[in-house]
Amino acid sequence: MKNIGSVEMHIEPFASTQAPKILLVKISSLGDVLHNLPIFWDLRARLPHAQIDWVVEEGYAHLLQPLLSREGFRGIDRLIPFGLRRWKKNLFNLNTWKQFFAFRGMLQSTSYDILIETQGLLKSALVCALAKKSPHAVVAGLANATEFSGYEPLARFFYNHLVQVPLQCHAVDRSRWVMCSALGWPRLERSNMPQFYPQAFVDNIARVTIEGLKTPYVLCFHSTAREAKRWDSAHWVTLAQALAARGYQIVFPWGNTHEKAVSSFLSEQVSGSLVPSAFSIEEAFSVIAGAALTIGVDTGLTHLAAVLDKPTIEIYCDSPLWKTEGYWSSRICNLGDINQPPSVQEVLTAALRLLEQSN
């Protein structure tokens, strides 16, 4: 990727002995929050005494709980849940406004020195505007859109430090680019591998009990918010039948009634497969941790498997590989590309390799 420049104000680099108050604003969605996790570790490694708070949509707060500060671990100091999705459905409810003002009170209980907004959306920029800031606070955000990502140009008016990034920029790299510019640091290269969750947390994820689930099993995340990102159902059936014939139970999770119907359709054609009951994000950690392999399209739960460093195949059909591919582990295999879905044989070959590698 080509560095196409950066900022509107000069910032003196922060030293490791300093203790700035930092607010991270990455509100949603699941995959976006996950790909923002490395900047927490980057900040904590270089500023061990900093206060680091994070604003996140309340439905994704569980993704950050393993990183909260506790005895023996200085992590995220304060998690600030944002209930915008729920509030928008109840605008004329008095309790909604009470909750909003309580949220604003939390934002204004600390005077922040650095605010890092890596989403480029108006709702995120408005959170920065609501927050209390020190007199010379840096409010850093994206100066430009990147391809295949949401961006609202009005958000730029709420930053005093605009960071220009390449048009084609991986989600992890983009967040790191904004963070480094906000603190006056040299840009981190990919050789400095991103970290997501504490290894002790990953190693000790409790196994969940789901009726009908048998080991070893393979998770198939076939659904995603955009229909064009789906892999052909016939491909899923052929792949699942091949893996089932090798002794793996195939599991077809779902998130809504339409996805459940697709899961049921696929399951009917694969002997011994399972359409599980609905599970939460919290339970998803356990389901993924116990899987022999996760295979999924470009969607949040597939990315969760990748950031947990579990054997994962990411299938790209209508989104570019460079945007979210898992590049940090040999246990992740990225297949396909925009308008170039992989063949069944490509996915099966990768699946058998990863399964053999993890045995």
Dump pLDDT digits (tens) for 122-178.
Answer: 999 999 999 999 999 999 999 999 999 999 999 999 999 999 999 999 999 999 999
Give the pLDDT confidence score for residue 358 in this predicted structure.
Answer: 84
The candidate with the shortest Cα–Cα distance to 262, out of 252, 250, 271, is 252
User: What is the pLDDT at residue 6?
Assistant: 44
* C-alpha 338, offset from chain centre: 20
What per-residue confidence (pLDDT) applies to 301?
97
Q: How far apart are CA 56 and CA 185, in angstroms?
A: 25
Torsion of CA 81, 84, 86, 92, to 10 degrees: 130
158, 142 contact by CB (below 8 A): no
pLDDT of residue 331: 97
> Average pLDDT, stretch 178-190?
94
- The pLDDT, as a whole number, for residue 333 is 98
Beta bridge partners of residue 73, listed in sequence order: 70
**Helix (H/G/I), strand (E/B), else coil: 161:** strand
Asked whether residue 281 carries a pLDDT value surpassing 70, the answer given is: yes
Per-position DSSP letters for 53-106, written without gaps between them: EEEEEGGGGGGTGGGB-BTTB--BSEEEEE-HHHHHTTTT-HHHHHHHHHHHHH
Place of tokens 């196994």: 207
7 has pLDDT over 60: no
The CA–CA distances, whole Å, from 148 to 163, 171, 226, 278 equal 18, 11, 13, 29
Amino acid code (one letter) for 126: L
Q: Encode pLDDT of 299-338 as tens digits.
A: 999 999 999 999 999 999 999 999 999 999 999 999 999 9
Q: What is the mean pLDDT of residues 268-274?
A: 97
Residue 218 forms beta bridges with which residues? 250, 293
Query: Does position 107 have pLDDT exceeding 50, yes or no?
Result: yes
* Alpha-carbon gap, residue 339 to 342, rounded angstroms: 10
How far apart, in whole angstroms, are the C-alpha atoms of residue 294 and residue 314?
8
pLDDT surpasses 50 at 3? no
Residue 171, token pair as written in the block: 């989600």
pTM, entire model: 0.93
Is the CB of residue 211 less than 8 Å from the CB of residue 217? no
Q: Is the dihedral of CA 280, 204, 212, 298 positive or negative?
A: positive
- Indicate whether 4 pLDDT > 50: no
Query: Sheet containing 332-336: which strands, arranged edge to edge?
Result: 249-251, 217-221, 293-297, 312-316, 332-336
Q: What does the pLDDT read at residue 1?
A: 35
β-pairing, 312-316 with 21-25?
unpaired
